[in-house]
Amino acid sequence: MAITTDRRTFLKATLATGLYGFARPFATAITPDGDWIESVRAEFPGLKHSRGYFQTGAFGLCSQRVIERTKDLIDRQNLGPAHPDQIDYLKNVERECRELVAQTFGAKPTEVALTANTTTGLNIVLWSIDWQAGDELIISDQEHPGLLLPCYNLVRRFGIVLKLAPIAQPEKTVDEVVARLTPRTRLVVMSHVSRGSGVVLPAAALAAALRTRGVRLLLDGAQGPGNVLVDFHAIGCDYYSLCGHKWLLGPKSTGALLVRSDVLESTPPTWTGSNAQASMNEAAQSLEWHPDARRYEFSTRYVAGLGGWHEALRWLDGLGWDRIRARQAELLAYTGEAIKATRGMELVSPDNLAQRNGIVVLRLPEGLNATNIYERLRREDNILVSPVTAPRDLRLSVHFYNTEAEIDLALARIRTYSA
Ligand SMILES: Cc1ncc(COP(=O)(O)O)c(C=O)c1O
């Protein structure tokens, strides 16, 4: 199915009215052309290895420049890992990464702890609380094991009570959460974007509602940054945990926890080790933490990966986030329309402009199993998608480097296997 002039006109009009919750009158002018799309795709060796890469919600692809930067840093580290010149150079790599993460996602550099993944950041916050039996923790009913397992662990270790709030209808989420608050609620933790349905949390409204009630909010941002707009201070949550390896196209084992300055002192580290301290005194058996979020970082770290991630962020920034979003939005509208036009297939992920994002979930016709279709697409067509929570739900993660032709092919093959 080729894109038609009518469809293109519709898409451009759609873009102009705002896809990410605010008006984007300039979007029509920046919608990328074919040359831009080709030059972007040429950066990613991984795109040549499949006929449709739709697994960015699991792992994004690294561009050649990110791969090379990471390799260069590994080489450099091995020139003499303990040489002061190398140590200084690598410290600078971390500093640059921290500063760019802060700048890109609306935080201060002092509010950024560089981590290895989203789950680490979630654990840092979950374990900062002095939990007592009967304390309550609210999460949503659509969470990933990366959050569920730490929560079940807290239930087992401390006897806390875990409450689930439904989030399928975003306009009701704030009320659903507020209805579950009690004097024993110590924290609310939720995915900014659900990995199984693509539902986007009304994050700013929830943060505001919880702030007035004195309850902190931690967002699981595994599917957020690079997929939807993230401005930490504009959202107003207390903590935001994210990873570099999905929509931000960095190497695996990269991520960050954003911690608002005003909750830093009341969010104590749990696990720690060398380099988390501003100073320590062996005679007095005492320490002073770093005055900023570096207090959650310790020991020997994967600096080469952080350098690779910095390169990915730098390149994305150079491409232009508005252009990236415009292209992704164009593809999302195209994919949504194509799914809705297919008999027997249902679009599960949100279709309205404020909610639409790269997590596109379709429901297969009755009697089919998403894992089987995923296997056939992988084996017979070399098209990579993901089966998600419900047995008939298949996820296509659509990023700006995908194409309409890949989407057409994937949907055609799914249709064939569904017949
Ligand atoms: C919503 C959500 N949370 C957490 C995770 C785990 O992320 P990480 O591997 O960065 O810890 C994922 C991974 O897919 C996810 O989708």
- The residues pairing with 386 across neighbouring beta strands, listed in sequence order, are 395
Cα–Cα distance list, 23 to 20, 28, 142, 171, 202 (Å): 8, 12, 29, 20, 17
Indicate if ligand 1 lies below 6 Å from the C-beta of 117: yes
pLDDT digits (tens, 9 = 90+) for 112-133: 999 999 999 999 999 999 999 9
Pocket flag, ligand 1, residue 195 (CB < 6 Å)? yes
Ligand 1 atom 4 nearest Cα? 146
pLDDT attached to residue 34: 87
Closest-CA residue, ligand 1 atom 12, reads: 222
Does ligand 1 have an atom closer than 6 angstroms to the CB of 260? no
Contact between 239 and 219 under an 8 Å Cβ cutoff? The reply is yes
pLDDT for 27: 40
Quick check: 4 pLDDT over 90? no
C-alpha 141/C-alpha 299 separation (Å) is 35
Tell me, what's the pLDDT at 20?
31
pLDDT of residue 104: 98
Cα-to-centroid distance, 189 and ligand 1 (Å): 13
Q: How confident is the model at residue 16 (pLDDT cuts 50, 70, 90)?
A: very low
Mutate which of 243, 302, 349 for ligand 1? The one with the most ligand atoms within 8 Å of its CB, which is: 243
pLDDT of residue 190: 98
Considering only CA atoms, which of 207, 193, 206, 213 is closest in space to residue 236? 207
Lowest mean pLDDT among 2-11, 51-60, 170-179: 2-11
Question: What is the distance in A from the centroid of ligand 1 to the CA of 147?
Answer: 8
Q: How far apart are CA 126 and CA 239, in angstroms?
A: 11
What does the pLDDT read at residue 13? 37
Q: What is the reported pTM?
A: 0.93
CA of 31 to the centre of ligand 1 (A): 30
Mean confidence (pLDDT) of the chain: 92
Q: What is the DSSP letter of 45?
A: G
Q: CA-CA distance, 107 to 332, in Å (whole number)?
A: 28
Instruction: Round to whole Å and give the CA distance between 218 and 242.
Output: 11
The mean pLDDT value for 316-331 works out to 96
Q: Please tell me the distance between residue 246's alpha carbon and the centre of ligand 1 in angstroms.
A: 9
Q: Which amino acid is at 97?
A: C
Give the per-residue pLDDT at 256: 98
DSSP letters, 294-363, are GGG--SS--HHHHHHHHHHHHHHHHH-HHHHHHHHHHHHHHHHHHHHTSTT-EE-S--STTT--SEEEEE
Residue 96's H or E segment, with its range, is helix 84-104
Q: What confidence tens digit (pLDDT) does each residue in 21-75 have?
A: 333 333 444 677 889 999 999 999 999 999 999 999 999 999 999 999 999 999 9
Distance (angstroms) between ligand 1 centre and the Cα of 330 equals 26
Tell me the CA–centroid distance for residue 309 and ligand 1, in Å.
Answer: 17
Q: How confident is the model at residue 292 (pLDDT cuts 50, 70, 90)?
A: very high
The pLDDT, as a whole number, for residue 419 is: 83
What was the pLDDT predicted at 353? Answer: 83
pLDDT tens digits for range 129-144:
999 999 999 999 999 9
The rounded percent of the chain whose pLDDT value lies above 70 is 93
Segment 68-90 mean pLDDT: 92
- Whether residue 356 contacts residue 337, with contact meaning beta carbons closer than 8 Å, is answered with no
Which protein residue's CA is at the shortest distance from atom 16 of ligand 1? 195
Q: What is the distance in A from the centroid of ligand 1 to the CA of 25? A: 33
Residue 395 CB less than 6 A away from ligand 1: no
CA of 341 to the centre of ligand 1 (A): 31
Closest CA to 162 of 133, 129, 131, 138: 138
| Section 182-205 average pLDDT | 98
Q: Is any atom of ligand 1 closer than 6 Å to the C-beta of 140?
A: no
pLDDT tens, residue by residue, 249-286: 999 999 999 999 999 999 999 999 999 999 999 999 99
Average pLDDT over residues 317-334: 96
Instruction: Give tens-digit pLDDT for 361-405.
Output: 999 999 999 999 999 999 999 999 999 988 999 999 999 999 999
Q: How remote is the CA of residue 364 from the centroid of ligand 1, in Å? A: 24
Cβ of 191 less than 6 Å from ligand 1: yes
Q: At what angle do helices 321-340 and 404-418 cross, to 10 degrees?
A: 30
Atom from ligand 1 closest to the CA of residue 220: 3
Per-residue pLDDT, 313: 98
In whole angstroms, give the CA distance from residue 153 to residue 172: 29
> Which domains are present in the chain?
5-61+321-418 (3.90.1150.10), 67-316 (3.40.640.10)
pLDDT attached to residue 30? 67
Confidence of residue 18 (pLDDT cuts 50, 70, 90): very low
Q: Is 120 helix (H, G, I), strand (E, B) or coil?
A: helix
Average pLDDT of 197-205? 98
Question: In terms of residues, how long is the chain?
Answer: 419
pLDDT at 209: 98
For position 14, what pLDDT does the model report? Answer: 37
